[in-house]
């Protein structure tokens, strides 16, 4: 099918090393029977992209990173339904396959949604991974619904996932949403997205209990290491915590209050080929409907018009700093 330009990693190098991400030319992927072949127009960089770059060992085979993408369908496999050549789509990809940092990507149609027509490719590329993670955290892991009430504490409410999770919680539940932030800009962002209150996570327990004196029923955590004892003091008995970070924290402090712990990993459905794998496509379609109705806003904060190794290194550096608000996107001119 010819060749394409892509950006690849060959070793787990620091982002300031020009060899950490390099421009390469690869064969255009051949779509599998259930695949779409997508011409990628924009991607976003997530913390998982940084982790995969850093943790990758030496390899003679190029590793194309990238998950979030928005683009146009240019070919379909024979088992594809619901999509046609020319459709504009968005998706978060599959951890077991080559990524989106390329001109073309093959992706299973069951984890793809039609791009909201009101958004640019760059705006749409900011939403899939964080949108799916937020949706699954709230509704699949925590079991929240339209009739749910109580209090939800969202750590990192101005981050990529937190920015969508706050909006979805306000949109599809009746819970009170408390976000955390450590800078005025982050607090303003979380408030703009709908948080009822914002507290400083550098002084988490007293600030959270000022906002919710009786504690909270639910807590979302993107950074849990060293915080389990704090969580045990904030979450009510029989409450629930959902976490998306890595590591194996000691959960013993949660036992006296019978607090449930849930892991959320957005890639599980695609990586494990679960029977409900197509649920991710349906979630993306639902998110698109909320966007089209003006009920959900994109969380892009920075767009770089440099779809190259240099541009992606810049984006990785921004995300790696830990100080980004919303999402960093790289668009193809």
pLDDT at residue 1, rounded to an integer: 74
Straight-line distance from the first to the last Cα atom of the chain, in angstroms, rounded to the nearest whole number: 23
pTM as predicted? 0.96
Judging by DSSP bridges, how do beta strands 104-108 and 69-76 pair with one another? unpaired
pLDDT averaged over 10-residue windows placed end to end, the chain, 333 residues: 95 95 97 98 95 90 97 98 98 97 98 98 98 98 95 96 97 97 94 97 96 98 95 98 92 98 97 97 98 96 96 96 90 91
Report the C-alpha gap between 15 and 260 in whole angstroms: 37
| CATH class for the domain made up of 3-127+276-331 | alpha beta
Report the C-alpha gap between 23 and 6 in whole angstroms: 6
Q: Where along the chain do the CATH 3.90.180.10 domains lie? A: 3-127+276-331
Closest C-alpha to 79, from 127, 45, 112, 31 = 31
CATH of domain 134-263: 3.40.50.720
Report the C-alpha gap between 22 and 37 in whole angstroms: 23
CA 80 to chain centre: 25
Closest C-alpha to 222, from 280, 154, 166 = 154
Report the C-alpha gap between 28 and 41 in whole angstroms: 15
pLDDT at residue 247, rounded to an integer: 83
pLDDT at residue 248, rounded to an integer: 81
Closest C-alpha to 128, from 327, 331, 333, 311 = 327
pLDDT at residue 57, rounded to an integer: 85
Q: How many CA atoms lie within 13 A of 99 on its CB side?
A: 26
pLDDT at residue 312, rounded to an integer: 97
Q: Does residue 28 contact residue 2 with C-beta atoms inside 8 Å?
A: yes
Biggest distance spanned by C-alpha atoms of the chain: 62
Which secondary structure element, helix H or strand E, spans residue 200, and what is its range?
none
């Amino acid at each position: 099918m010819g060749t394409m330009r892509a950006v690849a990693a060959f070793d787990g190098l620091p982002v300031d090393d020009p060899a950490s991400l390099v421009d390469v030319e690869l064969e255009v992927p051949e779509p599998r029977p259930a695949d779409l072949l997508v011409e990628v127009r924009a991607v976003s960089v997530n913390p998982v992209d940084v982790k995969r770059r850093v943790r990758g060992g030496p390899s003679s085979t190029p590793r194309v990173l990238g998950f979030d993408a928005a683009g146009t369908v240019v070919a379909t496999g024979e088992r594809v339904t619901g999509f046609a050549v020319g459709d504009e789509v968005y998706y978060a990809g599959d951890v077991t396959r080559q990524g989106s940092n390329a001109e073309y990507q093959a992706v299973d149609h069951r984890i793809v949604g039609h791009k909201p027509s009101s958004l640019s490719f760059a705006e749409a590329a900011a939403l899939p991974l964080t949108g799916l993670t937020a949706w699954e955290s709230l509704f699949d892991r925590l079991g929240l619904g339209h009739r749910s009430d109580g209090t939800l504490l969202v750590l990192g409410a101005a981050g990529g996932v937190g920015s969508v999770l706050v909006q979805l919680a306000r949109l599809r539940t009746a819970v009170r949403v408390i976000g955390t932030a450590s800078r005025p800009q982050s607090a303003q962002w979380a408030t703009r997205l709908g948080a009822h209150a914002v507290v400083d996570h550098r002084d988490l327990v007293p600030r959270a209990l000022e906002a919710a004196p009786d504690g909270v029923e639910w807590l979302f955590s993107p950074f849990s290491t060293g915080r389990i004892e704090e969580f045990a003091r904030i979450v009510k008995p029989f409450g629930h915590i959902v976490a998306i970070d890595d590591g194996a924290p000691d959960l013993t402090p949660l036992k006296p209050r019978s607090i449930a712990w849930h892991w959320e990993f957005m890639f599980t459905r695609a990586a494990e080929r679960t029977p409900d794998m197509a649920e991710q496509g349906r979630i993306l379609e639902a998110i698109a409907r909320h966007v089209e109705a003006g009920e959900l806003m994109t969380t892009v904060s920075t767009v770089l018009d440099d779809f190259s190794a240099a541009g992606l290194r810049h984006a990785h550096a921004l995300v790696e700093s830990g100080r980004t608000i919303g999402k960093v996107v790289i668009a193809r001119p």
